[in-house]
Amino acid sequence: MLLTGGQVSMAISSTIVFTFTSLLFLSGYVLQQKTVHSLQAAIKPRLPKPLPAPTPETVPLNLNVKWARPVGSRPGSDADFEQYISEQNIDWSRLGYVQLVKEHVEVCSAMMLFGDLYRLKSPAKRVLLFPRAWLEDATGKVVDPYLGTSRRLLRMAARRYGVVLMPMEPIIEGADSSLPSSYSLASLFSLIDYERIIHLSSPGLLLDSSPLDSLLAFSKSEPVAGLPASAERRELLTSLLLIHPSVENYSRLRKLRLTQPMTDLDLFRKSFPVPDSLLSAWSMSLGNLFYESTWLRNSIEGFNSTIFTEATAYVHLSDPELPGPEYDVPYYDRVRIRPKNEEARVVWEKLYETFRQRRMEICGLDLETWNSPVLQAETIMDESEVVAEEGRVAGEIVQHAQNL
Ligand X SMILES: *[C@@H]1O[C@H](CO)[C@@H](O)[C@H](O)[C@H]1NC(C)=O
Q: Which residues bind ligand X (CB under 6 A)?
A: 49, 223, 244, 246, 248-249, 272, 304, 306-307
Rounded (10°) CA dihedral 109, 114, 117, 122? 150
Cβ distance to ligand X smaller for residue 149 or 304: 304
CB of 304 to ligand X, least distance (A): 4
CB of 266 to ligand X, least distance (A): 16
Output the furthest CA–CA distance in the chain (Å, rounded). 91
CB of 305 to ligand X, least distance (A): 7
User: Residue 371 — φ and ψ, nearest 5°?
Assistant: -100, 125
CB of 264 to ligand X, least distance (A): 16
CB of 277 to ligand X, least distance (A): 7
Peptide bond preceding 131 in cis form (omega within 30 of 0) = no
Cβ distance to ligand X smaller for residue 86 or 306: 306
CA distance 285 to 305: 20
Return the SS3 of 46.
helix
Long-range contacts made by residues 73-77, C-beta under 8 angstroms, separation at least 24? Answer: 74/44, 74/45, 75/41, 75/44, 75/45, 76/41, 76/42, 76/44, 76/45, 77/45
CB of 339 to ligand X, least distance (A): 15
Q: Which residues pair with 225 in a beta bridge?
A: 242
Cβ distance to ligand X smaller for residue 269 or 297: 269
CA distance 239 to 289: 11
Within 10 angstroms of residue 142's Cβ, the number of other Cβ atoms is 6
CB of 19 to ligand X, least distance (A): 24
CA distance 352 to 315: 10
Cβ distance to ligand X smaller for residue 239 or 271: 271
Within 10 angstroms of residue 71's Cβ, the number of other Cβ atoms is 14
Cβ distance to ligand X smaller for residue 244 or 297: 244
Cβ distance to ligand X smaller for residue 150 or 288: 288
Residue type, 31: L
Cβ distance to ligand X smaller for residue 49 or 151: 49
CB of 306 to ligand X, least distance (A): 4
Return the SS3 of 292.
strand
Cβ distance to ligand X smaller for residue 252 or 334: 252
Residue type, 303: F
